[in-house]
């Protein structure tokens, strides 16, 4: 990588120059450098931010057809991420994920995906009218979370579905666990199938050798990467990285354009340009510090009675192939309160806001924005938490099991556009659901639109609801009713897995 080039920020620099030249605007945004807007908001946001709140006027290039400063910034980003092409997204990783799927799957095509996918994957499956072949991720009975998928699972699925058009992998997972991505890519590429990576939680991986391998380094074809989550850009700004010859970059560009607003925010684009510079120039150094803080925190958390924070000893060489140690998954099942209650208590008592909580865990991210002081505040709060909620009783943690993946009777898209009716969930066996049903933990969909509801599903959901697990997704928040497809609509059958 050419470090001197990486110091340049063509987009941000030009944007500032343009704003400083003080042009007289007769175009949108109509607030015109903040002069036509609410004063309190104006004063809070400040004149600098408002002066670069611009859109694609002629001197500033166009994200839909970049030929100037956006193209230059994207080229520098591609160099930094080790990609052939990088596309900026101002609609998060969600729209980059949709673009990956729409660029590789046509109506009726199969795509191999883990069951734990983000909702943007399921939305894209509906938009593209493709058929998911689901892989069950490994479940962790102790932690109550889902991990990644294994190369063996991918190989088996590709042998069974040689006509699949893409394999999608979440790498690393929300909790920081990574699959053996290099091996998955090797298996898929042997069959000329592209690998798409949901890298929402892995922007930093490319910039440090002690983190799990990044999608581009592992040879994946496309990676949707949230720069905003862990890479220092502003919320909603992400990149889509591409390499190899299996996916046509021109096709990806036109799909992205179809999905993207024509009023692209230059504040977001500039934040991508500068986050790339920060990662490329300082990434290695600041991630070394972040890792040191996270490792120290992990050791200190494990010294607290009643808490467990898993580390690399949890790896098994399969679905738990590697770990991003900056993610602190803190298991609280030895305390007298559950993860949600622990998270609420930390907020109310110590003003600490965790990234996520479920029944058994709270998840805290250590990032480039942390320092000794913030970590010590977390440790102190966790010590206080454990002291308050210590219990001698053995906790009644339920081992997480999942029912089999249900039969997909019609495509998710057919289900989505069908005529439906709402019926009591307890009487829904044999019907085809038009709604999602998720269970937390571990956040896996139990039912997706188009799948046939079984007695086993109903018993499973009822038992888990009674055990205190959270079931969500139906229009009816109590999950007493479920929307199913009216029988006469079901005309287009699809494959059974
Ligand atoms: C695993 C995963 N994939 C994709 C996304 C979507 O990313 P974004 O919020 O950047 O659209 C998220 C967001 O939380 C996520 O957790």
Q: What is the mean pLDDT of each run of 10 residues along the chain (497 residues)?
A: 87 98 96 97 98 95 97 98 98 97 97 93 94 92 92 98 98 97 98 98 98 98 98 98 98 98 97 98 98 98 97 96 98 93 97 93 97 98 96 63 84 93 95 90 83 92 81 90 81 46
- Kindly state if the Cβ of 100 falls inside 6 Å of ligand 1: no
Predicted pLDDT at 208: 98
Q: Are 432 and 410 in contact (CB under 8 A)?
A: yes
Output the CA 114–ligand 1 centroid distance in Å.
Answer: 15
Q: For the chain, how big is the Rg over CA atoms in Å?
A: 24
CA distances for 6 relative to 77, 112, 206, angstroms: 9, 36, 15
Instruction: Tell me whether the omega of the peptide bond preceding residue 87 falls within 30 degrees of 0, making it cis.
Output: no
What 3-state class would DSSP assign to 177?
Answer: strand
470-472/437-440 β-pairing: antiparallel
Predicted pLDDT at 189: 98
Q: Is the C-alpha dihedral spanning 274, 278, 281, 283 positive or negative?
A: negative
Q: Which two tokens stand for residue 233?
A: 């850009």
Q: Are 444 and 118 in contact (CB under 8 A)?
A: no
CA distances for 305 relative to 39, 129, 295, 308, angstroms: 51, 51, 18, 8
Closest ligand 1 atom number to CA of residue 95: 11
Atom 12 of ligand 1, nearest CA residue: 200
CB proximity list for 70: less than 8 A, separation 6 or greater: 11, 61, 62, 63, 88, 269
Closest ligand 1 atom number to CA of residue 170: 1
- Kindly state if the Cβ of 198 falls inside 6 Å of ligand 1: yes
Predicted pLDDT at 493: 47
Output the CA 8–ligand 1 centroid distance in Å.
Answer: 29
CA atoms within 13 A on the CB side of 13: 9
- Kindly state if the Cβ of 118 falls inside 6 Å of ligand 1: yes
- Total-model pTM: 0.94
Predicted pLDDT at 376: 98
- Kindly state if the Cβ of 176 falls inside 6 Å of ligand 1: no
CA distances for 149 relative to 168, 361, 437, angstroms: 10, 21, 21
Predicted pLDDT at 394: 56
Predicted pLDDT at 496: 41
């Amino acid at each position: 990588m050419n470090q001197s080039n990486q110091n340049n920020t063509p987009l941000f620099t030009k944007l500032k120059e343009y704003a400083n030249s003080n042009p007289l605007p007769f175009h949108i945004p109509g607030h015109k450098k903040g002069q036509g807007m609410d004063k309190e908001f104006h004063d809070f946001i400040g004149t600098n931010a408002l002066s670069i709140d611009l859109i694609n006027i002629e001197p500033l290039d166009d994200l839909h057809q970049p030929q100037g400063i956006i193209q230059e910034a994207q080229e520098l980003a591609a160099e930094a991420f080790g990609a052939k092409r990088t596309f900026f997204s101002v609609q998060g990783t969600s729209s980059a994920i949709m673009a990956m799927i729409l660029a590789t799957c046509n109506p009726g095509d199969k795509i191999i995906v883990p069951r734990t996918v983000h909702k943007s994957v399921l939305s894209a499956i509906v938009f593209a009218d493709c058929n998911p072949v689901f892989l069950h991720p490994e479940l962790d009975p102790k932690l109550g979370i889902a991990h990644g998928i294994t190369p063996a699972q991918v190989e088996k699925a590709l042998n069974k579905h040689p006509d699949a058009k893409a394999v999608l992998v979440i790498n690393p997972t929300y909790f920081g666990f990574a699959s053996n991505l290099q091996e998955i890519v090797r298996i898929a590429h042997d069959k000329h199938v592209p690998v798409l990576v949901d890298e929402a939680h892995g922007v930093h991986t490319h910039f440090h050798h002690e983190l799990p391998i990044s999608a581009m380094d592992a040879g994946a074809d496309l990676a949707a990467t949230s720069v905003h989550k862990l890479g220092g850009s502003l919320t909603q700004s992400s990149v889509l990285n591409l390499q190899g010859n299996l996916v046509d970059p021109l096709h990806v560009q036109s799909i992205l354009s179809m999905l993207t607003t024509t009023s692209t925010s230059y504040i977001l684009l500039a934040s991508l340009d500068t986050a790339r510079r920060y990662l490329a120039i300082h990434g290695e150094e600041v991630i070394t510090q972040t890792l040191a803080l996270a490792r120290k925190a992990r050791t200190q958390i494990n010294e607290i009675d009643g808490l467990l924070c898993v580390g690399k000893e949890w790896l098994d060489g399969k679905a738990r192939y590697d770990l991003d140690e900056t993610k602190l998954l803190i298991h609280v099942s030895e305390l007298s309160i559950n993860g949600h209650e622990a998270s609420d208590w930390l907020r109310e008592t110590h003003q600490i806001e965790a990234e996520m909580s479920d029944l058994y865990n709270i998840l805290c991210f250590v990032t480039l924005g942390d320092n000794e002081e913030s970590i010590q505040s977390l440790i102190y709060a966790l010590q206080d938490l454990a002291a308050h909620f210590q219990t001698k009783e053995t906790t009644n943690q339920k081992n997480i099991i999942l029912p089999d993946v249900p039969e997909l009777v019609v495509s998710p898209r057919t289900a989505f556009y069908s005529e439906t009716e709402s019926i009591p969930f307890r009487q829904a066996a044999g019907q085809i659901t038009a709604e999602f049903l998720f269970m937390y933990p571990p956040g896996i969909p139990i039912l997706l639109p188009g799948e046939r509801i079984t007695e086993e599903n109903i018993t499973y959901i009822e038992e888990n609801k009674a055990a205190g697990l959270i079931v969500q997704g139906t229009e009816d928040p109590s999950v007493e009713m479920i929307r199913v497809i009216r029988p006469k609509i079901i005309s287009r059958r699809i494959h059974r897995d």
